[in-house]
Amino acid sequence: QDCTQKYIVKNYFYYYLFKFSAALGEEIFYITFLPLTYWNIDHSVSRRMIIVWSIVMYIGQVSKDILKWPRPLSPPVVKLEMRTNAEYGMPSTHAMAATAISFSFFIATMNQYKYPFELGLAAAFVFSTLVCLSRLYTGMHTVLDVVGGALISAVLLMLLYPAWDMIDHSLLTSPFCPLLSIVVPLVLCYNYPKLDYYSPTRGDTTTILGAAAGATVGFWLNNQYPVPAHTSNSFQLGFPLATSMMVVVLARSFIGILVVLLTRWIMKSVVLGLLCYRYKFPIRDLEARRRLEVEVPYKFITYSSVGFTATVIVPLLHELLGLK
């Protein structure tokens, strides 16, 4: 069995570097970087990243609970994280997400923006490598978990790449897109593999699929009623932004993140309150919140609202405030 260990930090550079790198594979990164790409860089790039991210993460999360490979034992490993310790280890979804996001961003932008190919490739490699190494440093995964996660993600990326344009076109134009974007993820969440004991994987998967579902509905709606898009004409990677443009980007980012976080807080409170009333349990009852009939709608509704807000409400607010 794992046990909590005390430890002494001897190299604070590595400690903070890899703690920060580990955060690049967690919710706080997803909820900021993916929307920032949509608001400030290019809608098509953001759409492709979200498509790849949601598919890769779902497969990774389900694979963990099917394979049921344990995480490294502590001792001898010292674990610097506790929340995900209840999950199984293989594959590392941090490694999968980092590989999928960094390389899908690189592939989606390399033909649209003017920057050295080698620089983009190196940046994607460094980003994914730092996240992978952080999982070893924090004691959460073995080398096999990390390598397996990165390789699975790379294979999925290669398989999805030829269908990117077709998937993107369908998401924007199909009249069935809003319905399928909600129904399919919900079916997957309610039929998530059953475990012998509770782990955060089902909740995290519901969070990811919910955010992707809300964003996808937003993509479709924006295509029916176009809003100003930020494309290569307004934002060129590799060249310094003018001071005025930088101010606009910072303003868009600050307002957008504030609205997204506010949406998450409000929806969490409202949805959880309604579910507490429906199923008659105290709001602080953690065990009740882990039940299937509570956890799935609670997280799905909350994060689909976040995804929809980020892709529809925030751009409209930007336009209203003159931050196009």
Residues 6+ apart with CB under 8 A from 208: 30, 53, 54, 57, 58, 61, 303
Active site residue 94: yes
pLDDT for residue 9 is more than 80 = no
Is-catalytic flag, 230?
Answer: no
Query: Each residue of 237-274: pLDDT tens digit?
Result: 444 445 677 787 788 888 889 999 999 999 999 998 88
Residue range 169-193, pLDDT digits in tens: 888 888 888 899 899 999 998 988 8
Could you tell me the pTM of the whole model?
A: 0.81
Report the alpha-carbon distance of residue 45 to residue 31 in Å, rounded. 16
- Three-class SS of 71-93: CCCCCCCCCCCCHHHHCCCCCCH
Q: pLDDT by residue (tens digit) across 15-41?
A: 888 888 888 777 778 888 888 888 888
- pLDDT beyond 50 at 233: no
Active-site residue (options: 94, 169, 230, 318): 94
Q: What is the pLDDT of residues 96-115, one digit of tens each?
A: 988 988 898 888 888 777 77
pLDDT above 90: percentage of residues in the chain: 15
Catalytic residue (choose from 141, 169, 230, 318): 141
Residue 103 to residue 33: CA distance in whole angstroms = 14
